[in-house]
Chains A and B, each alone.
Chain A
């Protein structure tokens, strides 16, 4: 059996033309291949081929101690790596029964919401580009840079962040980080407003996106969609609200819901989510004022990597450092499923642990993988140019799709 169904249109019975959209097509923003049968500009049928950047993360994870799995999660959805990193750390904390201090939870919430904003900036900006408007994208991109600079202050890296530790952060937020965060909170809302006024009632944009790729709530649930796509179809499922993790229950925010699941509602839902994320960050900053400023990790020396100075000068720290790096700390023999609301939907970690130095089995429930499977069936009867916009608004990230 062949994964690649059709490459040519040599079949004389086939009156349709075959189009190989991808794997490296400039309009698809990633390594996606779809072999489409076209009747004129209409898509008759399509077959998706995925796996071009499959890196066997689940197999690698079976051979790595917990801390070495964090960089793997970076490379799932690389537009919002901190959510993946913290989702993984929270899974391990759940396994080990570690409770984190409130300040850690709030700092995590800030970073995760920044990651969500940066992911939505990309998705909505690119949706504008694909419908012919470069301006909005450039306005917004500047502020993704501001978010990356905040990551840089907190963890030292920008894209694949490897942020945090089991139990908290590797270092405290410094004053520069808070200043940059406050500056972002001041600068970004007017830009978002301007971005919305460029698009929301723009005749060209609305004509291109309204009613395109509309999905009913039943179909969305049937295909296990999650995240902004499911909410755009009218189902208010958000892991942050349903099963709050990292103290999301302390925050007052709304879960925006769309009406008919088309590209336009997904755009609106993502814009509204950015505003809600800003609201959450503002609240977190207020809550942080009441917390002691020197706490940035839970007191779990057997799982939290000690600072380097202590490793060199303190016997206990050296022992813990060695044991953590070598994965020699006993862990419970059980299984755990933990999910977080990633930028694309429910990002789940199913961890089966046998007490060894690495997971017995680790499965990532990757929202892009599950969201993307509807792409080929829903493209039937669609115009080719609409299918391109549809792919942008699904916001499928190749790293998360192929794992």
Chain B
């Protein structure tokens, strides 16, 4: 659908950042890349400013928690090139106990609240963020509730245990 194909996009990124990005896949046509915390801002900045790509629109920043992985927090960026009508998803995996990643507010003002939400949910520390505080939850909350170890309901409840449902 887009004016540039995923292959061209990948080729363009690979010529600039040889060996620093890995392709995760193309689920449902959306090119998904993985990179490191050192390179993420360079790559976002390149995608945003390169005249042939122009990924000027930051759709979303969020995170996913994979407790069994060594680098347990995946920060996910969705960006969109309105000119070429193509989207790209970039993932950065970071250590869950020491989760630092540079902020994208230097590129998009709109990243401000998205990063605050991600901090609030997962405790991801965006270095250089102008105002990194909780946004949806109360200030004195100590846990990061979207991490998998945080229970949804009172863990002492017994009426919803799996064995009642034959699992």
Contact = CB atoms under 8 A, between A and B. Distances in A.
A365 B59 contact: yes
A350 interface: yes
B146 to A, nearest CB: 6
Nearest to B108: A222
B58 interface: yes
A4 B82 CA distance: 37
A235 B56 CA distance: 12
Contact of B59 (A1, A58, A346, A361): A346
A59 B139 contact: no
A49 B62 CA distance: 20
A135 B23 CA distance: 57
Given A221-B57, A222-B110, A373-B110, A3 B28 contact: no
Interface stretch (B9-17, B92-100, B129-137): B129-137
A54 interface: yes
Interface string B26-60: 01101010000000000000000000000011111
Contact of A370 (B85, B113, B135, B150): B113
Given A1-B139, A59-B146, A223 B110 contact: yes
A346 B82 CA distance: 13
Nearest to B113: A373
B133 A3 contact: yes
B165 interface: yes
B145 A361 contact: no
A266 to B, nearest CB: 18
A363 B109 CA distance: 20
A326 interface: yes
Contacts of B121: 58
Contacts of A274: none
Interface in A47-77: 50-51, 54, 56, 58-60, 62-63
A2 interface: yes
Nearest to A4: B139
A2 B113 contact: no
A352 B117 CA distance: 18
B112 interface: yes
Given A223-B109, A243-B85, A348-B60, A54 B137 contact: yes
A51 B116 CA distance: 12
A402 B137 CA distance: 10
A222 B89 CA distance: 18
A142 interface: no
A377 B5 CA distance: 38
A365 B28 contact: no
Given A3-B138, A59-B152, A336 B82 contact: no
Contact of A402 (B57, B85, B136): B136
A196 B59 CA distance: 33
Given A221-B56, A337-B78, A1 B133 contact: yes
Contacts of B139: 1-4
A255 to B, nearest CB: 13
Nearest to B28: A336
A325 to B, nearest CB: 11
Interface of B: 1, 27-28, 30, 32, 56-60, 62, 64-65, 76, 78, 82, 85, 87, 89, 108-114, 117, 121, 133-139, 145-146, 150, 152, 165
8 contacts: A3-B134, A51-B138, A224-B108, A224-B110, A350-B78, A365-B60, A373-B110, A373-B113
